[in-house]
Amino acid sequence: AATLARTAEQTAGALLTPAPPHRLTDVVPAPLQVQPDPTADWVLPADAVIVASPDPAALAVAEQLAHLLRPATGYPLPVTDATTPEAAGGIALVLDDSADLGAEAYRLDIATSGVRVTAATSAGLFYGVQTLRQLLPAAIESPDPVTERWALPGGTITDAPRFPYRGAMLDVARHFFAVEDVLRVVDHLARYKLNHLHLHLTDDQGWRITVDSWPKLTTVGGTTEVGGGPGGHYTKADYARIVSYAAARHITVVPEIDLPGHTNSALVAYPELAPDKTAPPPYTGTEVGFSYVDPTDERTYDFVADVLGEVAALTPGPWLHIGGDEAFKVKGEVYTGFVERVQRIVADLGKTVIGWHQLAPAAHLDGRALQWWGTNGEDPTTVDAVRRGARLIVSPGNHAYLDMKYAPDTPIGHDWAGLIDVRKAYDWDPGTHVVGVPAEAVLGVEAPLWTESVTSLADIELLLLPRLPAIAELGWSPRASHDWASFRDRLAGQGPRWTTAGITFHRAPEIPWS
């Protein structure tokens, strides 16, 4: 009888014992250093206060944290910059540049007395908040209040990124996407501590950004897209909205105007830019490499300077991406001569050039960066450009291209660079991938999403998730922590978060989704 009573007691005890919080290591991308302290778990009280350093940028991150936590908890979570006695036991966001933390680094301390994020910059605080968010139960993603014990695992995380450039690209030219869709993509980037959004704004099938000095680029060139749909474009106000929404999430927008090829939509609008001075028909197919602006006509350089000038004026970030890929009909010295003039135009605007790695043979200038999209890490031309000073953003077609299918039965996407399942997206090293390029020359990593076959936000999310977090981990986490089994299990934990938040994703069969 005594044994039975004890068993009953134990059973009741187990039922009353709340579920343990997530483990401190259950974070994507994997943090640099994690020191769990199982005696220091913390539960968010209903009357918690969020206290931030008296700095507008720190207070803005505190407001973002409150916005993340209020819907599911239903708690008021007031934000204050005063260290009031009520603040004890809450969440503190502390700017501290003496704490030996780099520009994007943070420390997260979770103790029974409360939670503290410390960083030298508001970007660091923002990344600490993204980590904190992932350590709460998945129900925190609910848009409506839920009854839950909002526990956090005790201990300390000290974290900093491996690479300064961690990005994704959205092609809004092949298919146009509304501002709201782009903002949702920004949200996905922010969750995984990516800090650059590259917008492929122009291509044969459509021109997507207003240029006041060349208005027909959008009124004519913006009205088409792959498959014959209506296209569309961003007004300057639309673009500014994307830029500021991204900036609030510590994400820099990198605008791309693809030159000299991929320009059919511009030639339809302005035949004077075409080599034969006649307007080609609008293009809604998916071939590449046939169009180009006339590199022998001075008017082309006026056009380039006007367009890049207006885009630069709208873009607070340092980068202008000038494309340069697949200009098959502009060869040799004509091509490098064109690129060198355009690079100079960018520098004169006070911006730094990024281009696809086809730019490599052109002369070096001002810390330009090449975006490498090869499928074979042997590339002597790119290695030579790096030797002459170029830095590299690595986007291998067969690992980082989000438009590749996962498997033969993926309903949309390409396969010219192969199939990319989650493991293929994860198992490579941006620091050593291009043979002969030292890790110091690698600025970082970017995952491009081309949209020939992508027509909706659901399509975007199907291809982005769950591969984007794999690329994010390659950009953020130290190489020493690279481990497929660990990543697979941590990624599985993201599934219920997306589902709760109403985000669709591909249930990749190699991930043990719960």
Do residues 306 and 232 lie in contact, with contact meaning Cβ atoms separated by under 8 Å?
no
Q: What is the three-class DSSP state of 293?
A: coil
Contacts 24+ apart (CB under 8 A), 385-388: 385/357, 385/359, 385/360, 385/361, 386/436, 386/437, 386/438, 386/441, 388/363, 388/364
Total of residues contacting ligand TNX (CB under 6 A): 10
Kindly state whether residue 506 participates in binding ligand TNX, applying the rule CB under 6 A: no
Which residues touch 366 (CB under 8 Å, ≥6 apart)? 343, 347, 352, 353
Q: Which two tokens stand for residue 35?
A: 């020191």
The CB-of-461 to ligand TNX minimum distance in angstroms stands at 18
The CB-of-414 to ligand TNX minimum distance in angstroms stands at 5
| Position among 403, 421, 459, 461 found at the interface with ligand TNX (CB under 6 A) | 403
If the CB atoms of residues 414 and 506 are measured against ligand TNX, the closer one turns out to be 414
If the CB atoms of residues 53 and 371 are measured against ligand TNX, the closer one turns out to be 371
Kindly state whether residue 356 participates in binding ligand TNX, applying the rule CB under 6 A: yes
Do residues 424 and 398 lie in contact, with contact meaning Cβ atoms separated by under 8 Å?
yes
The CB-of-258 to ligand TNX minimum distance in angstroms stands at 8
The CB-of-491 to ligand TNX minimum distance in angstroms stands at 24
In sign, the C-alpha dihedral spanning 270, 281, 263, 175 is positive
- Which 288-317 positions form the footprint of ligand TNX (CB under 6 A)? 288
If the CB atoms of residues 335 and 373 are measured against ligand TNX, the closer one turns out to be 373
Active site residue 326: yes
Query: Which of 256, 326, 340, 440 is labelled catalytic?
Result: 326
Do residues 402 and 468 lie in contact, with contact meaning Cβ atoms separated by under 8 Å?
yes
The CB-of-317 to ligand TNX minimum distance in angstroms stands at 20
| Position among 249, 414, 433, 488 found at the interface with ligand TNX (CB under 6 A) | 414
Place of tokens 């498997």: 407
- Which 1-60 positions form the footprint of ligand TNX (CB under 6 A)? none
Q: Which of 90, 22, 82 is nearest to 52 (CA)?
A: 82
Kindly state whether residue 450 participates in binding ligand TNX, applying the rule CB under 6 A: yes
The CB-of-362 to ligand TNX minimum distance in angstroms stands at 16
Do residues 64 and 191 lie in contact, with contact meaning Cβ atoms separated by under 8 Å?
no
Place of tokens 């997507």: 208
How far is the CA of 264 from the CAs of 270, 273, 304, in angstroms?
A: 10, 10, 15
If the CB atoms of residues 141 and 452 are measured against ligand TNX, the closer one turns out to be 452
Q: How far apart are CA 343 and CA 324, in angstroms?
A: 11
Q: How far apart are CA 140 and CA 146, in angstroms?
A: 8
If the CB atoms of residues 176 and 401 are measured against ligand TNX, the closer one turns out to be 401
Q: Which two tokens stand for residue 310?
A: 């207006």
If the CB atoms of residues 292 and 356 are measured against ligand TNX, the closer one turns out to be 356
Q: What is the three-class DSSP state of 222?
A: coil
The CB-of-169 to ligand TNX minimum distance in angstroms stands at 9
If the CB atoms of residues 270 and 356 are measured against ligand TNX, the closer one turns out to be 356
If the CB atoms of residues 272 and 326 are measured against ligand TNX, the closer one turns out to be 326
Do residues 37 and 156 lie in contact, with contact meaning Cβ atoms separated by under 8 Å?
yes
Q: How many other CB atoms sit within 10 Å of the CB of residue 145?
A: 13
The CB-of-374 to ligand TNX minimum distance in angstroms stands at 10
Kindly state whether residue 326 participates in binding ligand TNX, applying the rule CB under 6 A: yes
Kindly state whether residue 159 participates in binding ligand TNX, applying the rule CB under 6 A: no
Task: State the amino acid at position 230 in one-letter form.
Answer: P
- Which 368-387 positions form the footprint of ligand TNX (CB under 6 A)? 373
Q: Which two tokens stand for residue 417?
A: 């660079």
Q: What is the three-class DSSP state of 187?
A: helix
Residues that bind ligand TNX (CB under 6 A): 288, 325-326, 356, 373, 401, 403, 414, 450, 452
Any idea which residues carry the catalytic annotation?
326
